[in-house]
Chain A
Amino acid sequence: DTAVSQTPKYLVTQMGNDKSIKCEQNLGHDTMYWYKQDSKKFLKIMFSYNNKELIINETVPNRFSPKSPDKAHLNLHINSLELGDSAVYFCASSQDRVGNSYNEQFFGPGTRLTVL
């Protein structure tokens, strides 16, 4: 069984469209994350939820809206897509929030978003 899964794996869309990426973890973890990895491989945190509560909200355009319906799911909705949104988006989860002990993060396979 896949520990952290994301759908879709690839997403190609036109500028101005709205799209969503879904993430699910079956590890029983309390904390989930969204990261963006650009073409230069820079891995940057976007959001983090702990027990469905938003605990990290980096400087991300408000076109990006995360939603956590329950502890096992964290979805990312993007409105009015722009060329600069093209990247690989990784979902991750950990047992607890960073700083609360040894806390490895398990990453999903990533969603490669291409905005044309």
Chain B
Amino acid sequence: QQPVQSPQAVILREGEDAVINCSSSKALYSVHWYRQKHGEAPVFLMILLKGGEQKGHEKISASFNEKKQQSSLYLTASQLSYSGTYFCGTEGRGGSNYKLTFGKGTLLTVNP
């Protein structure tokens, strides 16, 4: 089942913060985050495997609440280069289903 991302789109000014949420109706084993710039391929940001885990990559970090079956991506002090579509991908628990199901994406636009 496809995870639900919110918001669908967000517009920021450079230096502002944003949060992108990803929720699932079923138990999750892991959450993956990717960013896709216009006309390019998706690029990996991070994977979260454990409940309550938080990971960071420069000014982009994420959390994973296993109980609530949701993950959030935090972008702080946004830069122009952060613009793009952010996708979360979820893998169902049990490991028997070896695929990622991606959300519909969140379009992030950072303006000067």
Instruction: Decide: A107 and B99 in contact? CB cutoff 8 A.
Output: no
Pick from A44, A90, A104: contact of B44, CB under 8 Å: A104
Chain A residues bordering chain B, tally (CB within 8 A) = 26
- Nearest to B97 among chain A residues (CB) is A99
Determine if A105 is an interface residue (Cβ-Cβ < 8 Å): yes
CB atoms of A98 and B104 under 8 A apart = no
Q: Are B101 and A107 in contact (CB under 8 A)?
A: no
In the complex, chain B residues whose CB is within 8 Å of the CB of A110: 41
B51-102 residues with Cβ-Cβ distance < 8 A to A are 85, 87, 91, 95, 97-102
Complex partner residue of B49 from A41, A102, A104, CB under 8 angstroms: A102
Contact residues in A for B49 (Cβ distance below 8 Å): 101-102
Minimal beta-carbon separation of B11 from chain A (angstroms): 17
Q: Is B10 an interface residue (CB 8 A)?
A: no
B12 → chain A closest CB, angstroms? 19
Contact between B42 and A99 (Cβ–Cβ < 8 Å)? no
Does A68 reach chain B (CB closer than 8 Å)?
no
Chain A CB within 10 Å, residue with most, of B41, B43, B101, B104: B41
A68 to chain B, nearest CB (A): 15
Which residues of A lie under 8 Å from residue B87 when comparing CB positions?
43
B66 CB to nearest A CB, Å: 15
The residues in A between 38 and 55 inclusive whose CB is less than 8 angstroms from any CB of B are 40-45, 48, 50, 55
Contact call B98/A98, Cβ cutoff below 8 A: yes
Query: A41-B85, A99-B29, A99-B30 in contact; A106/B44 too (CB < 8 A)?
Result: yes
- B28-41 vs A, CB cutoff 8 Å, 1 = contact: the mask equals 01101010100011
Q: Is the CB of A107 within 8 A of B43?
A: yes
B residues bordering A, Cβ < 8 Å? 29-30, 32, 34, 36, 40-44, 47, 49, 85, 87, 91, 95, 97-102, 104-105
A→B interface (CB under 8 Å): 40-45, 48, 50, 55-56, 58, 90, 97-110
The 9 closest A-B pairs by CB, nearest first: A107-B41, A99-B95, A104-B44, A43-B102, A97-B98, A98-B98, A45-B99, A56-B99, A107-B42
